[in-house]
Amino acid sequence: MAQAARTQRSLLSLLNSDGKEHPVENTIAIVTVVLGAIAICTTLSPSLHLVSSWVGLIGIGTGLWGQFISSTTGERFLLIIGLGAAAVGFYLGLAHGGLFGGVIG
C-alpha cells in the first residue's frame, strides 16, 4: 500500500511555513515572546515594576518591528502573543510605579 510519508515537524518548520528560512524574523518572534513572558512574570511582584515596565516597553518595540518585517503566519502568531504579554506587563509596571520608579516626577 502506498502511504504518504510523514515528515518531522518542529517549531522552526511551523514558523517557516513557506519553505524558506527566516532567521532574523524567527529570532525577533522568539525574543518578543521571551520578553513578554518576563514582563508578565515580573508584574506579580509590585517591587519589580522597573523590570516589568522596561522589559515590556522593549517587548512592545520588538513586537511591532517584528510585525513590520514578518513573513509567515506562524511568526505573526507568536509576535501577537508576545506583544500582548509585553503590553500587559508594561501597563501593569506603569501602574505599580512607572519607568523611573518615582525618581522623575
What are the pLDDT digits (tens) for 71-103?
A: 899 999 999 999 999 999 999 999 998 888 766
In the block, which residue shows the cell 511591532? Answer: 64
Rounded CA gap, 6 and 9, in Å? 9
For residue 31, what pLDDT band results from cuts at 50, 70 and 90?
A: very high
- At 48, the amino acid letter reads L
pTM for this predicted structure: 0.85
Cβ distance 89 to 59 under 8 Å? yes
Rounded CA gap, 84 and 66, in Å? 13
3-state secondary structure (DSSP) of residue 101: coil
Q: Residue 105, class by beta-carbon neighbours within 10 Å (0-12 exposed, 13-18 middle, 19+ buried)? A: exposed
Span 65-74, pLDDT tens digits: 999 999 899 9
